[in-house]
Amino acid sequence: MLEFNISLIGQRGGNVCGQDHFVMVACEHCRSHYLYNEALKDIYYDADDLSRRFFRIEGINLPPCKGCGSIKWLFSEHPLTDVEVQLGAWGWVLE
Ligand SMILES: [Zn+2]
């Protein structure tokens, strides 16, 4: 279970509502990491620029995966561990 620093995410420009449910997800092909707020359906592409977020809804494709360029990429069924997140660009989002 990952613990997210929601106030820091908000300070850095994340879209937070107070009922947030953040998870870390990975591309099923290349395991690139993404931050996802399940409450608002916002997926964040860039750990250094939280304005790069996209609304994830049924029937509309996200932009291609930033890692492998796959156009119709899906979230991996294998969750990221806290160590994987810590070692990646998104390490700062964890408490
Ligand atoms: Zn990918």
pLDDT digit string, tens, across residues 59-92: 888 999 999 999 989 999 999 999 999 999 999 9
Q: Give the per-residue pLDDT at 41.
A: 97
Question: Hey, what amino acid is at 85?
Answer: V
50 CA → ligand 1 middle, Å: 19
Provide the residues around ligand 1 (an ion) whose CB is within 5 A.
27, 29-30, 32, 65, 67-68
Going from N- to C-terminal start, the domains of the chain cover 6-82
90 CA → ligand 1 middle, Å: 16
Q: What is the pLDDT of residues 18-33, one digit of tens each?
A: 999 999 999 999 999 9
40 CA → ligand 1 middle, Å: 22
Dump the DSSP string for 30-95: T--EEEEETTTTEEE--TT-TT-EEE--TTSPPPPPTTT--TT--B-SSPPPHHHHHHSTTGGGB-
Give the residue from 95, 93, 88 showing the smallest Cα distance to 9.
Answer: 93
User: What pTM did the predictor assign?
Assistant: 0.95
